[in-house]
Amino acid sequence: MAAGPVTRVACENFAQFFETWLAEQKRDLQSLHSAASFPPPRTRDEASARDRRLRPLIASVLSSYEHYYTAKAASARRDVLPMFTPTWTSSTENLFLWIGGWRPSMAFQLLYSKCGVQIESGITELVGNLDANDLGDIDTDQLRRIDELHRRTVRLEREKSEEAAAAQEMVADSNMVGISHAITEMRGGDGEEMMEVEMKAKMEAMGKVLEKADGLRMETLKGLVAILRPIQAVHFLIAAAELHLRLHEYGMSKDAAAREAGTVVTAITSAGL
């Protein structure tokens, strides 16, 4: 079925927003890097001052993510179709989508990976009894709380996956089977209106699942940041932004190369070579 005017408008509008938000994320990454580059505090007062300086930055970055999901929800309410077949992301990124976005439990893998990298690189430095200047100093209480959040997230992920499966299975319910047969029996008649009415409720169901999934993504991000100390949160948010931006750039580059190769093949074929 060809994309209707609402789908095209929703897709174009969110694609434009996504490019603006991507530029904002790049600016946030620069700010996070600048904050992380400050020398480690040498006294308790300096550590407290650093935390006070970092908290507004962290809040601003989280606010940017919330703005993204608010805009996404508004666009999905107009038309949910583009959210499951996004044109503003690459084929590589779309390969790893879970209900229209990143899998929330991936945030924990990112955190653990970044912790390991920073410990193995030997850049963790303790100054007296002060906190480390990166993710290499997560304590046992934080690990316990992170593990609890991880378990809860996995459980909620499973629930959302089941809800998505139930919504997808609605495509094969008795109403759809009846309509499909009726359209066939019409022998060339226009059954698009019949299908449109029936599909509306099914797309709305998928939209609700998407909204819940996005809510879990944001809830997981905020939950992890709340457990981490400010400087740790900065390093985690750096890792998240770097992974997203570098994967997006890589994927878009691969798509551009594939399009160029396809253009060359088409030109050669057309020339009869």
Pairwise CA distance, residues 273 & 252, whole Å: 30
78 Cβ neighbours under 8 A, 6+ residues apart: 6, 9, 10
Residue 208 in any domain: the answer is no
Range(s) of the domain holding residue 18: 5-138+216-270
Q: What is the pLDDT of residue 266?
A: 61
Q: What angle do CA 217, 94, 162 make, to 5 degrees?
A: 50
Residue 192 in any domain: the answer is no
Kindly report, residue by residue over 206-229, the tens digit of the pLDDT: 999 999 999 999 999 999 999 999
Kindly report, residue by residue over 49-75, the tens digit of the pLDDT: 999 999 999 999 999 999 999 999 999
What's the total number of domains in the chain?
1
Residue 262 in any domain: the answer is yes
Q: What is the mean pLDDT of each run of 10 residues along the chain (273 residues)?
A: 50 89 98 94 92 97 97 94 95 96 97 85 46 78 97 98 96 92 78 86 95 98 97 97 98 94 62 57
Pairwise CA distance, residues 55 & 221, whole Å: 15
Q: What is the pLDDT of residue 168?
A: 95
Q: What is the pLDDT of residue 1?
A: 43
Pairwise CA distance, residues 64 & 28, whole Å: 9
Residue 263 in any domain: the answer is yes
Residue 166 in any domain: the answer is no
Residue 237 in any domain: the answer is yes
Residue 159 in any domain: the answer is no
Pairwise CA distance, residues 119 & 189, whole Å: 67
Residue 18 in any domain: the answer is yes
Q: What is the pLDDT of residue 117?
A: 81
Asked whether the beta carbons of 24 and 64 are under 8 A apart, the reply is yes
With CA atoms as reference, report the closest residue to 63 among 182, 237, 212. Answer: 237
Q: What is the pLDDT of residue 244?
A: 98
